Amino acid sequence: MWYFRSPSIVYGEDALSFLSELHYERILIVTDRNIVKAGLLSILHSNLPSGSKNLVIDNIPEEPTVSDVTDRSKQVMEFSPDLIIGMGGGSSMDAAKALFVMYERPDLDLFDITPLVHLGLRKKSRLILVPTTSGTGSECTWAAVLSDRDHGRKNELASPEIIADYAILDPVLVQKLPQSITRNTAVDAITHAVEGHSSQWKNPYSEAMAEKALRLITHNLPAVLRDGNMKSREMVHIGASMAGLSFSNSQIGLAHAMGHSLGAHFRIAHGMSVGLYLPYVVDFNQDYSVESYEILRQCFPEKYRGESLGETIRKFFREIGQPLDLKATGIDRDEYDLNLSGMVGLAEESTGIITNPREADSQEILELFEAVE
């Protein structure tokens, strides 16, 4: 027995106006300062049900820790919302998921939560997630990533019950996204699609979502980066959520295991870190994922298609200006080499190691880290 899990998805032009039709009275909004500065919080506000009372937590940091979340939970309890809206990139949406659990089940320790524990959420509130980037897929997944800076790692809080009631994909929120963020987040989504499609836990639903996601993103991203084309942006936004649904229902692979590990050692955008390793990991997996990789190769526009999926990804990344070597990410080679054993150790702890199409031992992971030019 297997499940396909997904929030209800509201998408397209004016999707945010869906909020004005809801009958909630006390609405908590979880977001970050950049969203406020970009004027996106005002757009959200103008779509909230009239007469609702709102509390805004607008200071979620990038890559929030457990204490970043617990520090804010008292405020949430006092406000007593009947709806929680997480708006932003992965950090704000993941913080909203964690706050939702803490508010519903204050008796639980966040790390006692596993997919096997019945939480009985939704006694007090509902959860809506609104992405303002096209990449993390967090609005569609049933996990929240919280950093643990003391141990240099990331912890995952996972339960099918933390999947949002609704994900709202309104292209107006990504209209003015800077090029670098558009590129990095889309590369994250491409990596979700590739890894979700070829995971050892792949299934017909995760495959279908990944294929369509990859088509939508690779056929539309160059136009978005070239001239900010709005229709193309909308397609990339939808594609990113589909890629999220793919990996959320099958799991990620070695590029994410390695990318998370790099991100724990160096300050680097998540999409840039997983994208750096993706072509190497795909080459490594090639003979173990022949059928899946051929399907994925065909999802790219013809002009980028190389002999293999790895070659195709490299061509596409070159076209969009995505870093293919360490130097372009700004990481110092000597410092990188000094951290290699720590990075291998951390990568080995990731679920992505279990679900990657090819098993990789410590030596092979080390060689993949070293192979990056």
**63 near Fe ion, rule: CB under 5 A:** no
> Nearer to Fe ion by C-beta: 83 or 129?
129
In the complex, minimum distance from the CB of residue 319 to Fe ion, in angstroms, rounded to a whole number: 21
Who contacts 40 (Cβ-Cβ below 8 Å, separation ≥6)?
Answer: 31, 87, 132, 173
Per DSSP, the three-state class of 322 is coil
In the complex, minimum distance from the CB of residue 84 to Fe ion, in angstroms, rounded to a whole number: 23
**207 near Fe ion, rule: CB under 5 A:** no
Who contacts 38 (Cβ-Cβ below 8 Å, separation ≥6)?
Answer: 132, 176
In the complex, minimum distance from the CB of residue 255 to Fe ion, in angstroms, rounded to a whole number: 9
The piece of 31-39, 50-58, 181-189, 229-237 that touches Fe ion (CB under 5 A) is: 181-189
The piece of 97-105, 158-166, 188-196, 340-348 that touches Fe ion (CB under 5 A) is: 188-196
In the complex, minimum distance from the CB of residue 79 to Fe ion, in angstroms, rounded to a whole number: 31
**94 near Fe ion, rule: CB under 5 A:** no
**139 near Fe ion, rule: CB under 5 A:** no
Size of the site for Fe ion (CB under 5 A): 1
DSSP 323: -
In the complex, minimum distance from the CB of residue 80 to Fe ion, in angstroms, rounded to a whole number: 33
Per DSSP, the three-state class of 333 is helix
Q: Taking a C-beta distance cutoff of 8 angstroms, is the pair 253, 198 a contact?
A: yes
Q: Which residue is nearest to Fe ion (CB)?
A: 188
d(CA 247, CA 149) in angstroms, rounded, equals: 26
DSSP 169: E
In the complex, minimum distance from the CB of residue 39 to Fe ion, in angstroms, rounded to a whole number: 27
Q: What is the DSSP string of 87-156?
A: EESHHHHHHHHHHHHHHH-TTS-GGG--TTS-----SS-EEEEEESSSS--GGG-SEEEEEEGGGTEEEE
Per DSSP, the three-state class of 47 is coil
The piece of 147-155, 186-194, 221-229, 300-308 that touches Fe ion (CB under 5 A) is: 186-194
**188 near Fe ion, rule: CB under 5 A:** yes
Q: Which residues sit at the interface with Fe ion, rule CB under 5 A?
A: 188
